[in-house]
């Protein structure tokens, strides 16, 4: 799923019906109860991670570092807490509105290149935790199957910021995927 989401478009429709969107260019897979870096490692099931146990297609949004949100797509069967973190978008629609939401001067390259940046740019918060991306009118994913990313453009590598999960090889496992050469992938790595 982490590979498959590359090239898909994450869309936010605002209350005034305007659209903010971008092409997913960087993702990370979190493999559930066996994965030390995953919030559901060992079967942890707390209010925070509850959405991850829901049906595939739900959003799992969490808050971290006292100031940042991260957006994930739940993709295991119901009861199987597996998700894909979306780490970067290539912005397509609503760039000026995104710049306002980011609250600082930034070029196209800085707008959505990072998991917390794209949440800011699309106005994703804990209010979006648990929404059904399949049916929600304000937050969803569009996939144009005629414009998929060729397999030989996809680069795999270690996930970012999961050194704490080294035991068992989970920090080095090649579970981060990005579109090679795309200038909108996040800076680290």
- Give the residues lining the site for DNA (CB under 7 A): 28, 30, 37-39, 44, 46-49, 60, 63-68, 70, 72, 83, 85, 102, 104, 106, 110, 114-117, 126, 159-162, 164, 186, 188
| Least Cβ distance, residue 17 to DNA (angstroms) | 27
CA 44 to CA 47: how far, in whole Å?
Answer: 10
CA 140 – CA 160 distance, rounded (Å) = 25
Nearer to DNA, 64 or 138 (CB): 64
Closer CB to DNA, 59 or 146, in the complex: 59
Which one, 8 or 175, has the nearer CB to DNA?
Answer: 175
| H or E element in which residue 25 lies | strand 19-30
Cα–Cα dist 142/106, whole Å: 26
Strand partners of residue 10: 22, 141
State the minimum distance, in angstroms, from the CB of residue 144 to DNA.
25
CB of 82 to DNA, least distance (A): 9
Structural tokens at position 124: 């994703």
Per DSSP, the residues of 86-125 read EEEEEEEE-HHHHHHHHTS---HHHHSBSHHHHHHHHT--
Nearer to DNA, 147 or 168 (CB): 168
Shortest approach of DNA to residue 45 CB, angstroms?
A: 8
Least separation in angstroms between residue 125's CB and DNA is: 11
d(CA 66, CA 100): 21
Q: Cβ closer to DNA: 77 or 104?
A: 104
Q: Which is nearer to DNA, 125 or 138 (CB)?
A: 125
Query: Please, what is the minimum distance in Å from the beta carbon of residue 84 to DNA?
Result: 8
**C-alpha radius of gyration, the chain, whole number:** 16
User: Is 139 in contact with 118 (CB distance < 8 Å)?
Assistant: no
């Amino acid at each position: 799923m982490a590979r498959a989401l590359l090239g898909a478009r994450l869309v936010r429709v605002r209350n005034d019906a305007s659209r903010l969107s971008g092409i997913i260019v960087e993702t990370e897979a979190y493999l559930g109860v066996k994965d030390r870096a995953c919030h559901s490692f060992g079967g942890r099931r707390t209010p925070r991670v509850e959405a991850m146990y829901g049906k595939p297609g739900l959003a799992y949004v969490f808050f971290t570092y006292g100031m940042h949100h991260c957006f994930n797509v739940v993709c295991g069967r119901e009861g199987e807490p597996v998700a894909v973190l979306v780490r970067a978008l290539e912005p397509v629609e609503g760039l000026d509105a995104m710049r306002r939401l980011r609250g600082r001067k930034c070029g196209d390259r800085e707008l959505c290149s990072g998991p917390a940046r794209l949440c800011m740019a699309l106005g994703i918060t804990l209010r979006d935790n648990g929404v059904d991306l399949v049916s929600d009118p304000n937050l969803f994913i569009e996939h144009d199957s005629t414009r998929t990313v060729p397999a030989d453009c996809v680069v795999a590598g270690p996930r970012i910021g999961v050194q704490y999960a080294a035991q068992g090889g989970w920090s080095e496992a090649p579970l981060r995927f990005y579109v090679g050469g795309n200038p909108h992938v996040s800076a680290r790595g």
